[in-house]
A and B are shown apart, each in its own frame.
Chain A
Amino acid sequence: MPVGNGRRVAVVAGCRTPFCKSGTALKDARAVDLARYVTRELLERTSLDGADVDEVVFGQVVPSALVPNVAREVSLLPQFPKEIPAYSLNRACASAGQAVSSAHDQIALGNADVVIAGGVESLSDIPILASRRLADTLVEASKAKSLGARLRTFSRLRIRDLMPVSPAIAEPSTGETMGQSAEKMAKENHIPREAQDRWALRSHQLAAQGTADGRLTQEIVPWFPAKLNAPVVTQDNGIRTDTSLEQMSKLKPVFDRKYGTVTAASSSPLTDGASAVLLMSDDAARAHGYPPLAYIRAYAVAAVDPGWQLLQAPIFAVPKVLERAGVQWKDLGLIEIHEAFAAQVLSNLKGFAEKGWEINEDIINVMGGSIAIGHPFGATGGRIVTTLANEMSRRDVQFGLLSICAQGGMGFAMVLERR
Chain B
Amino acid sequence: MPPPGSALTWELIDGIALVTLDLKGEPVNKISRAVKDEFLVTFAGLERDAAVQAVALFSGKPENFIAGADIEEFVKLTTAAEAERLSADGQELLERVARLPKPIAVGIHGACLGGGLEFALACHYRVASDHPKTQLGLPEVQLGLLPGAGGCQRLPRLIGARAALDIILAGKTEPAQKAFRLGIVDELVHPATLRDVTIAAAKRMATGWRPRRRRRGGFVGWLLDANPLGRSLVFRTARKQVLNQTKGNYPAPLAALEAVQYGLRRGMAAGLKREAQLFGQLAVTDVSRKLVQIFFATTQLKKDFGVANAPAPVEVRRLGVVGAGFMGSGIAGTAVSQAGVDARLKDADLPRVHKGLVAAREIPDERLKRRRITKYEHARLVALLSGGDSYAGFGRADLVIEAVFEDLAVKQQVLREVEAATHDRVVFASNTSTIPIAQIAAAGRRPQQVIGMHFFSPVARMPLVEVIPSEHTAPWVTSTAVAFGRRMGKTAVVVKDSPGFWINRILTPYMNEAGHLLQEGVAIEEMDHLMVQFGFPVGPITLLDEVGLDVGEKVVGVMHGAFGERFAPPPGFAGMVKAGRFGRKAGKGFYTYSGGKKGDVDPTVYQLIGTQPNGGPRAAEIIQRLVLVMLNEAARAVGEGIVRSPRDGDVAAIFGFGFPPFRGGPLRHADDLGAARLVGELERLAERLGSRFAPSETLLEQARQGGKFYP
Contact = CB atoms under 8 A, between A and B. Distances in A.
A70 B561 CA distance: 59
Interface in A36-69: 36, 40-41, 43-45, 47, 49
B380 interface: yes
Interface string B386-412: 111100110110000000000000000
B383 A232 contact: no
B454 interface: no
Nearest to A49: B396
A78 B384 CA distance: 7
Contacts of A228: 354-355, 358
B634 interface: no
25 contacts: A40-B383, A40-B386, A41-B386, A44-B344, A44-B386, A44-B388, A45-B393, A47-B393, A47-B396, A49-B396, A77-B383, A78-B342, A78-B380, A78-B384, A79-B384, A222-B350, A222-B388, A224-B354, A224-B387, A226-B358, A227-B358, A228-B355, A228-B358, A231-B351, A234-B350
Interface in A206-228: 222, 224-228
Contacts of B276: none
B555 to A, nearest CB: 29
B340 to A, nearest CB: 8
A49 B384 CA distance: 14
Nearest to B421: A47
Interface of A: 36, 40-41, 43-45, 47, 49, 77-79, 222, 224-228, 231-232, 234
Contacts of B396: 47, 49
Interface in B327-374: 340, 342, 344, 350-351, 353-355, 357-358, 361
A47 B423 CA distance: 11
Contacts of B342: 78-79
Interface in B258-284: none
B350 A78 contact: no
A225 B357 CA distance: 10
Nearest to B361: A226
Contact of A44 (B350, B354, B393): B393
Interface of B: 340, 342, 344, 350-351, 353-355, 357-358, 361, 380, 383-384, 386-389, 392-393, 395-396
Contacts of A226: 358, 361
A232 B383 CA distance: 18
Contacts of A43: 393
Query: Which 9 pairs of residues, A with B, have the shortest CB-CB distance?
Result: A44-B393, A47-B395, A232-B350, A224-B354, A232-B354, A228-B358, A44-B392, A45-B392, A78-B384
Given A44-B392, A224-B358, A224-B387, 10 more contacts: A44-B388, A45-B392, A47-B393, A47-B396, A77-B383, A78-B342, A78-B384, A222-B389, A225-B354, A226-B361
A401 B421 CA distance: 35
B344 A224 contact: no
A224 B393 contact: no
Nearest to B396: A47
A78 B383 contact: yes
A36 B385 CA distance: 12
B353 A224 contact: yes
A49 B383 CA distance: 16
Contacts, number: 49
A231 B361 CA distance: 17
A77 B342 CA distance: 11
B154 to A, nearest CB: 42
Contacts of B392: 44-45, 47
A47 B344 CA distance: 12
A158 to B, nearest CB: 37
A43 B397 CA distance: 13
A123 B376 CA distance: 24
A36 B383 contact: yes
Contacts of A47: 392-393, 395-396
B615 to A, nearest CB: 45
A43 B342 CA distance: 12
- Please indicate which of the listed interface residues A40, A222, A224, A232 has the most CB atoms of chain B within 10 Å of its own CB: A224
A41 B357 CA distance: 15
A224 B383 contact: no
Contacts of B354: 224-225, 228, 232
Contact of B357 (A40, A224, A234): A224
Contacts of A222: 350, 388-389
Contacts of B384: 78-79
A43 B394 CA distance: 11
A226 B361 CA distance: 9
A189 B306 CA distance: 80
Contacts of A231: 351
A41 B383 CA distance: 11
Contacts of A234: 350
A219 to B, nearest CB: 13
A348 to B, nearest CB: 37
A218 B51 CA distance: 79
Contacts of B358: 224, 226-228
A225 B350 CA distance: 12
B421 to A, nearest CB: 10
Nearest to B356: A224
A227 B351 CA distance: 12
Nearest to B340: A78
A32 to B, nearest CB: 10
Contacts of A225: 354
- Please indicate which of the listed interface residues A47, A231, A234 has the most CB atoms of chain B within 10 Å of its own CB: A47
Nearest to B380: A78
A257 B98 CA distance: 87
Nearest to A224: B354
A49 B395 CA distance: 10
B378 to A, nearest CB: 12
Contacts of B344: 44
B395 A232 contact: no
A49 B355 CA distance: 27
Contacts of B395: 47
- Please indicate which of the listed interface residues B353, B354, B389 has the most CB atoms of chain A within 10 Å of its own CB: B354
A333 to B, nearest CB: 29
- Please indicate which of the listed interface residues A36, A44, A77 has the most CB atoms of chain B within 10 Å of its own CB: A44
A182 B340 CA distance: 51
Contacts of A49: 396
Contacts of A232: 350-351, 353-354
B13 to A, nearest CB: 38
Nearest to B352: A232
- Please indicate which of the listed interface residues A41, A43, A225, A232 has the most CB atoms of chain B within 10 Å of its own CB: A232
A79 B361 CA distance: 17
A234 B384 CA distance: 21
B497 to A, nearest CB: 32
A44 B421 CA distance: 12
A36 B384 CA distance: 11
Nearest to A43: B393
Contacts of A40: 383, 386
A46 to B, nearest CB: 9
A220 to B, nearest CB: 12
Contacts of A36: 383
A41 B388 CA distance: 9
A304 B138 CA distance: 74
- Please indicate which of the listed interface residues B350, B355, B384, B387 has the most CB atoms of chain A within 10 Å of its own CB: B350
B325 to A, nearest CB: 14
Nearest to A48: B396
A40 B386 CA distance: 9
A228 B353 CA distance: 11
A147 B592 CA distance: 60
A60 to B, nearest CB: 19
A45 B353 CA distance: 16
B89 to A, nearest CB: 50
A40 B389 CA distance: 16
A77 B351 CA distance: 25
Nearest to B395: A47
- Please indicate which of the listed interface residues B342, B344, B361 has the most CB atoms of chain A within 10 Å of its own CB: B342
Contacts of A79: 342, 383-384
